Amino acid sequence: MLLSLKYNFLFVHIAKTGGTSVRDSLRPLRLRDPWFIAQFLCSRLSSLSGHRLGIKFPRHSKIIAAKEMLPAETFDKLFKFVFVRNPWDLQVSSFHHIRRERPHLMSHIETFDDFIRWKLDPERPYQFHVDTSIELQSDYVVDLHGKVLVDFMGRYEHLHEDFEEACRRIGVRAPELQHKRQAKDRKKDYRSYYTDEIAEAVAKHFARDIEIFGYTFDPAE
């Protein structure tokens, strides 16, 4: 999550949706916030004792955290935006990311089918780097009653165009957006990774995301 009171925006960062590129491109704006230096110093100094003060939102915080922690008048006037991604494509991205960044977690995994079955196994112990990418994307943008709280939902499939639109609404010129953490060895068409069984398993798990965001396994050309 990235908050700027000077530029009046809140970016909700869902894992594997291009959020690292968006956050890194907008991060320089935070440096101009008058309270940023004090926040940064307090956070770093408090971490020395092992009891870091809760003055920063974690990277993948849900919007409900900001709504509960910020004054209502501050939260309401923020331009709140997020990027979402086709759930089937997101899982392929997660497969390559974990295999590249946390290979020890997948030492027992041989195929993409195995990977999805393992991720969705309710008996599997929690692991942050695995479970972050099977959380529902919709949970990041709604309140406790299911009401969508963001003002703009960009799509990973139109990352550059929607990032420019978000910057237009913020009121700044869109900086260059570099696609970071992009897998070099993945196939371009995520559908080639799926059997019917595994595609259906992902559809079942992410049913609410698919309904809210309007994604399908075979997107319209």
Give pLDDT tens digits for 111-145. 999 999 999 999 999 998 899 999 999 999 999 99
Q: What is the pLDDT of residue 169?
A: 97
- Residue 178 is predicted with a pLDDT of 73
Write the CB contacts of 108 (distance below 8 Å, at least 6 apart in sequence). Answer: 114, 118
How many residues does this entry show for the chain?
221
Angle made by CA atoms 78, 79, 80, in degrees to the nearest 5 = 100
Among residues 28, 12, 6, which one has the least CA distance to residue 77? 6
pLDDT tens digits, residue range 6-22? 899 999 999 999 999 99
Instruction: Give every strand in the sheet of 152-155, ordered side by side.
Output: 2-4, 9-12, 79-84, 152-155
Percent of the chain with pLDDT over 70: 86
Q: Which CATH number fits domain 2-213: 2.60.40, 3.40.50, 2.40.128, 3.40.91?
A: 3.40.50
Instruction: Calculate what percentage of the chain has a pLDDT beyond 90.
Output: 70
Residue 165 has pLDDT above 50, yes or no: yes
Token pair 């299911």 in the structure block, residue: 146
Q: Where are the alpha helices (DSSP H) in 19-123?
A: 19-30, 36-47, 63-69, 72-77, 87-101, 112-119
What pLDDT score was predicted for residue 181?
61
User: Taking the domains of the chain in order of start, what are their residue ranges?
Assistant: 2-213
pTM of the model: 0.86
pLDDT (tens digit per residue) in 36-86? 666 656 555 555 655 544 456 777 889 999 999 899 999 999 999 999 999
Query: What is the predicted pLDDT for the residue at 19?
Result: 93
Between CA 108 and CA 114 the distance in angstroms is: 9
